[in-house]
Amino acid sequence: MSTETLIDADLAWAAFERRDRSFDGKFVGAVKTTGIYCKPSCPARHPKRAHVSFFRDGEAARAAGYRACLRCKPDEVGRERVAVAQAIELLEAAEEVVSLDELAMRVGYAPHHFHRLFKRATGVTPAAYARGLRAGKAAQALSTEDRVTDAIYEAGYSGPSRFYAEAGKRLGMTPSAWKRGGAGVTIRWAVAKTSLGPLLIAATDKGLCRVSFEEGEEALKRRFPNADIQSGGKALAELAEKVVAEVEHPERHHDLPLDVQGTAFQEAVWQALRAIPAGETRSYADLAAIAGNPKAVRAAGTACGANHLAVVIPCHRAHRSDGSMGGYAYGIERKVELLKREGVE
């Protein structure tokens, strides 16, 4: 049985043609004319399809007589993914702040190098990821603890001052307001016209809290029953224009302010989604691994479904491990069209 019979050669070649990073580490392509094997995202000029064979990993390619590409360094992919996964486990288990130097040392990398590869893999720095974990725990604790102070310590903060400095900004509202279901928070909204249908755009003073197709004021009130819901506003109009541009011209990415909350795992998945460049996709398995729990593939899909910000957090770029489309809260036709606009067929 040949190696290619174990790999979907058409799927693999398509990944190479679009230089899809989501397939890095899943297989390598070996070029008969050069004797070199590469990862799918290798930036080198593509050889002819007839000259390429696919292997499950670098070890199998080397056994067949090939050597690693010095440009894309395919053998480092697996090691980097393991290191990032280990670092995420360490951050999730830590009861106190873990410094970059200590984190890098424990996974076997120089601090500056690991800082870059962690951000490339997750979309955020190790410090920002850790802050997100603490804020996620705080959000959960605030919904179950009777006292805000108890929730602060339950979430792993050293004291109230640290919590208010970090989590308050992350949650986008004060802890007391969060405890009361958003009471005292003003949310401004508008429905904008797009080529894919009407789009609800809503934001607090901190950032976008809801972006969704085919919804209006009533849907917003159901989601935020204790907030002060107001229509329009100049600041919202400017923000809405940028959101519409994300729909119509996805290649023109805007770094938009967000005010959304979820569990620590959900927020990690959302961060991973935001790190996917336009024109690329990731599987739910990839997202689960980046979020620190490779076995939580179904939970990664659920996190995509729980996404508050359509298009802005691009869950349309997520697919099943077999390459099939998967679901989309606003209809599979919209998902197909969004991907088509990004050059993904």
Q: Which residues are identified as catalytic?
A: 38, 315
SS3 letters for 125-187? CHHHHHHHHHHHHHHHHHCCCCCHHHHHHHCCCCCHHHHHHHHHHHHCCCHHHHHCCCCCCEE
Tokens of 156: 């792993």
DSSP state letter for 244? H
What secondary structure does DSSP assign to 181-239, as a single string?
TSTT-EEEEEEE--TTS-EEEEE-SSSEEEEEET--HHHHHHHSTTSEEEE--HHHHHH
How far apart CA 20 and CA 17 sit, in angstroms, is: 8
Helix (H) or strand (E) holding 16: helix 9-17
Angle formed at CA 62 by CA 60 and CA 67, multiple of 5 degrees: 140
How far apart CA 269 and CA 290 sit, in angstroms, is: 7
How far apart CA 345 and CA 337 sit, in angstroms, is: 9
H-only helix segments in 306-342:
332-341
How far apart CA 220 and CA 159 sit, in angstroms, is: 34
Structure-token match 């729980």, residue found: 306
Classify residue 329 as exposed, middle or buried by CB count within 10 Å of its CB (0-12, 13-18, 19+).
middle
How far apart CA 261 and CA 241 sit, in angstroms, is: 23
Amino acid, res. 135: A
